[in-house]
Amino acid sequence: MAGKQQISRSKSRIILVALSLIGFSLLIFLSSLSPLRTPTTNLHLPTSHTSFVSSLEQFLTKTPSSPSLPDDTSTDVNKLDDATVFNSETYRLNSDPYYPLSLPLRVYVYNMPSKFTYDLLWLFRNTYRDTSNLTSNGSPVHRLIEQHSIDYWLWADLIAPESERLLKTVVRVHRQEDADLFYIPFFTTISFFLLEKQQCKALYREALKWITDQPAWKRSGGRDHIMPVHHPWSFKSVRRYVKKAIWLLPDMDSTGNWYKPGQVYLEKDLILPYVANVDFCDARCLSEINPKRSTLLFFRGRLKRNAGGKIRSKLVDQLSGSDGVIIEEGTSGEGGKEAAQNGMRKSIFCLNPAGDTPSSARLFDAIVSGCIPVIVSDELELPFEGILDYRKIALFVSSNDALKSGWLLKYLRDIRPAHIKDMQQNLAKAFPVFQSSSTFGS
């Protein structure tokens, strides 16, 4: 019993350490995609300089139906009991002096029924040209799905042949007893936006039953399972049953408006970036536009938001009409993309107030445009915050200061040109981390 308790504590340590390592691994992954790579196999991750739509087209054309992925070969998963896991972890504990801190991380990818994976990808592929499919505030549904498509890119890489995978610090294992973590490849965002409400809820219940029926889930309660929940509305009706799993999120939203208390926290979950809506501005682009930036502060988006985003309307009232400031109402459609991209590339600073949640894709649009983000969001947690020093590429302003009459513009105008140049150079250095996101959506 004492031995099993020791392994259990060791397993808990794996999970905490693994989150940090996965964050670092994803950082490497996002910065290592090469535009020169060419897909050569059915399950290969497409090139980085590819939009989500064209990438998906290529992926599904090469895999028209759910492929026959390898299952466990040496273990009957129905017999995967504590003794099996205990023996496996004891061996690793004794044979690996760095366990559980060592890389690569071992991930078991569930081969879920196609209704949770390929069918949803096909649904997106067959309907993305529907320009009339809008949210209640006028945002294109398919564009929102693209912004939250990081789960597709991760899954596509995980199931690619090992010799051609890009995320080298994570390996896929085919025996559950060898796994540190278990990946659940259910596309929660696509199902939320593209299925009828009751149909979506029914699919969520089916997915929940499938997941919680797995022996590995029952053994750990889901603590070593990774679940993509990258849109704040996705999987909402059944979240409470999977709250012990590791969630992939756009932010923590500790306000409680989107996630209930106890569902998300930094010790358990991982924040991943949005896919940017604008094109990536490379070194040549930046060298041409940085000296020509004539607008002090730019913002384009929905001017009125709910919850924590109510600060937007207050900032708009205060800043509108000020010299050197451009504030525009707009959405993320094709016309909106062009307008936002042009505005950000002409501006020194880009305003990033909270939206309905503390974060928004606009932050990553600003970063890949070389526009210094001015973040007014008191509850914001950022992707890879333990690795990247965001203070070198962004300005953080408290809501109280931002709403003081005249304070924000005076603060920005008082920043020395040399400091602005340093921040612009730091932004260019940070581009590789977010390059894949911007090119995914280009």
CB neighbour list of residue 174: distance below 8 Å, 6 or more residues apart: 70, 71, 72, 73, 108
- Residue 83 CA to residue 69 CA, distance in Å, equals 27
Task: Check whether 75 has a pLDDT greater than 70.
Answer: no
Q: Where are the domains of the chain?
A: 2-271, 283-440
pLDDT at 268: 86
pLDDT at 71: 46
Is 384 or 389 the better-scoring residue by pLDDT?
Answer: 389
Considering the entire predicted model, what is its pTM?
0.78
> Mind listing the pLDDT tens digit for each residue in 114-165?
999 999 999 999 988 877 777 766 677 888 888 888 889 889 888 888 777 8
Instruction: Read off the pLDDT of each residue in 385-399 and give the average, rounded to a whole number.
Output: 88
Closest CA to 403 of 271, 277, 311, 270: 311
Longest dimension (CA), the chain: 71
Closest CA to 24 of 384, 433, 389: 384
Q: Which of 359-368, 369-378, 413-422 has the lowest mean pLDDT?
A: 359-368
Return the amino acid letter for 211.
I
**Mean of the per-residue pLDDT values of the chain:** 78
Is 19 or 329 the better-scoring residue by pLDDT?
Answer: 329
| 235 within 8 A of 195, measured Cβ to Cβ | no
| 46 within 8 A of 55, measured Cβ to Cβ | yes
pLDDT band of residue 222 (cuts 50, 70, 90) is very high
| 10 within 8 A of 89, measured Cβ to Cβ | yes
CATH code of 283-440, in short, is: 3.40.50.2000
Please report how many Cα atoms fall inside a 13 Å half-sphere around the Cα of residue 403, on the Cβ side: 11
Task: Write the CA distances from 221 to 209, 214, 242, 388, integer angstroms.
Answer: 13, 10, 8, 32
Return the structure tokens found at 319: 């800043």
